[in-house]
Structure 1
Amino acid sequence: MQVTLLYVRLRAVELSNLDFNLLRTLDALLQETSVTRTAQRLNVTQPAVSAALGKLRRYFDDDLLRRCGNRYELTPLATELKVRTAIAMEGVRRVFETQSGFDPAADEREFTVLTSDYAMAVIGGALRGLTVGTAPKVSLRLEAHHAQIVEQMPDALRDVDGVIMPHGFLSNVPFVDLHADNWVCLVATSNERVGDQLTMKDLAELPWAFNYRTPAAFNPAARQLQVMGIEPHVQIVVASFLALPFVIAGTDRIALVQARVAESLVGNGDVRVLPCPFDAVPITEALWWHPIYDRDPGHAWLRNYLAAACRGLPALT
């Protein structure tokens, strides 16, 4: 225990004396795997980069870049640091982007929001108002989340402006509701085992295509079906809602999809939309963010803008 505390204290002293400008060099070195290219990227001399690499090697007690023939490759530690350094650089960028006020008509800022492809499709239709006239220097980056990120929430929220997900996955973090949606079923047009409507027997007997299937990332309606006592025979799992038509067409598989995108999916394959044979609980999509952004004026503008834009979506039928 004493050895561990001593090690932590020594590392804290080293960190306090560390030049944080090295972070920028480290990020570039891990991206470029070349002193020459790093110097060109940072617009500095090669000796300056070599000196920085020496300091980094001493600090981490690792070569970081190891010669392999006529090139360099990352050591295992450097491979791990590559991801962490990119996250740290993004965090630094966000610190210096923070302003005491925010004017979307004049200020420049990029927002990053994690979301599913389903939410991208729905939100994309609501964002027609994000124009040069309203926010000429504002850009919105919608990036796909995945099961691993969902499992790491809410820590992952520190590195982005938010995540769009339905209620039931996150708690104890701020949110604003965006829109509601219902569930329908997707089946192949050629599926002769299904008539004009699905039955609960069909749901129990037919093979399924699921989107997401982990303890932290799952389809809420499919989970509800299991609670009702029906264990779907899952034949294929895809980490996408919009890919479902391609794994259903020409098969006996069925799937649950959100009503707001169902009709657009019909054009992506030989599939049809049918009502859900059970009373699937509707979902409410929300924007969730880390509390550190609560008082950020730019972030406040973003969440208010997204909420207002989604209020313009067509009403559910």
Structure 2
Amino acid sequence: MRFKHLDLNLLVGLNVLLEEQSITRAARRLHLSQSATSGILSRIREHFKDEVLVTVGKSMILTPFGATLVEPIRNLLDQIQHTVGRRPAVLPEDARRKFKLIASDYITTVLMADVSRHVQRIAPGVAFESVDPSADSTELFERGEIDLLITVRQYCLKSLPTRVLMEESFTGVVWTGNTVVGNELTLEQYLSLGHVISQFGMDSRDSCDHAFMKSLGYARHVEMATSNFNTVPHFVVGTNRIATVQTRLAKLFTAHYPLRIVPVPVELPKLEMCMQWHEFMDQEPLHLWLRDTIAEIARSEHIPSLAFDPPLAALDHGPGQIGQIH
């Protein structure tokens, strides 16, 4: 089909070429031969009267005009996908859908575990897939292939809808058998202890508490760096080490491990946890219902339990009420 002399079938190929900036990689994604993909590029060049992609050395780069096409073409395809994927509004209790989200193990533990239990009661046909934060998963989210991103404010993506879920503070946890640490800590004691911290990704990106400490000019003696939050207790129990973790996580840890909370002698900035999504999903009923559900549970003072607490009375409205989208 042609519109304004452009074969609309070329739009998908154009989007992939703009993203990959490589005929070889684009051909692989499009499941086409390289010659067929080159043919798409030729027709695109002919239509726009611009090279769009040019070879420089061993690479291809966008022309200035080609660079102006990236966002409009991606947004256009997102809108088309949303439009052709529309279905009559479905009540949550009748829905059959899987939501994919990017969230750290901290968020999945203190928030999404409760969300999933609540949603199972209200909408048993709704499933979740949680993906660790990474450059690859963020790229998928930017392409519209992931429904939600939940992260700290400083890692939010610009220009996307953002909703603040909750604030989070930090505190210390030590083993209950720790004979070195009392009920309070001086700064000198705190810095002299062995610390357990979390670092993420191949580049060992620091957790927020460690980044904050560095920015304040404090150097902690790190005895153990682990790749997630939930393994931290295993490296604290049975030692005189300390870990500085999010307060919600600390309360959960102390309920299930021989750990106790100790205030840290440094005032660390609070985290602002936010949820992001694509604008084309802004008013999609089931997506909106899920965002409201996540936000309502995040606002509660409830601390999740690994022992599976009873349903939240404040949220247990029943299918008839929760299913109403406002």
Q: Separation in 2 of the partners of 1:113 and 1:213?
A: 18
SS at match of 1:111: strand
Partner in structure 1 of residue 175 of structure 2: 188
1:115 to 89, 94, 103: 103
What corresponds to 1:105 in structure 2? 93
Q: Which of 150, 171, 175 is residue 164 of structure 1 equivalent to?
A: 150
Contact 2:141 2:149 in 1 (8 A): no
> 1:246 Cα shift?
0.1
Residue type of the partner of 1:130? V
299 and 197 in structure 1: CA distance in 2 versus 1, 3 angstrom threshold? same
Q: CA deviation at 1:113?
A: 1.6
Alignment of 1:150-299 (within 5 A): 153=138, 155-157=140-142, 158-172=144-158, 173-213=160-200, 217-299=205-287
Separation of aligned partners in 1, 2:162 and 2:236: 34
Q: 1:206 to 1:13 in 2, by over 3 A?
A: closer
Does the CA contact (< 8 Å) of 2:156 and 2:274 recur in 1? no
After TM superposition, give the deviation of residue 148 of structure 1 in Å: 4.2
Change (3 A) 1:266 1:231: same
2: CA distance, partners of 1:119 / 1:255: 18
In percent, how many aligned pairs have the same letter?
A: 22
**Gaps (5+ residues) in structure 2?**
1-9, 15-30, 36-77, 304-326
Runs of 4 or more above 6 Å deviation: none
> Pairwise mapping of residues 51-62 of structure 1 onto structure 2 (< 5 A)?
59=33
State the alpha-carbon separation in 1 of the partners of residues 242 and 168 from structure 2.
19
User: Once the 2 structures are TM-superposed, how far is the Cα of residue 274 of structure 1 from its aligned partner?
Assistant: 0.8
Confirm whether residue 314 of structure 1 aligns to residue 302 of structure 2: yes
Q: What TM-score do you get using the length of structure 2 for normalisation?
A: 0.60
Equivalent position of 1:125 in the other structure: 114
Contact in 2 for aligned 1:154/1:290 (Cα 8 Å): no
Distance 2:140 2:177 in 1: 45
The residue type equivalent to 2:145 in the other structure is D
Q: Is the 8 A contact 1:175 1:288 kept in 2?
A: yes
Q: Does the Cα contact within 8 Å between 2:200 and 2:228 map onto a contact in 1? A: no
Most deviating of 158-167 and 209-218: 209-218
Letter of the 1:59 partner, please give it. S
Structure 1, unpaired ranges of 5+: 1-11, 17-55, 62-90
CA RMSD after TM alignment: 3.4
**How far apart are residue 185 of structure 1 and its match?**
0.6
* Shift, 1:126, TM fit: 4.8
Relative distance call for 1:187 and 1:159 in structure 2 (3 A) is same
TM-score, normalization: structure 1?
0.61
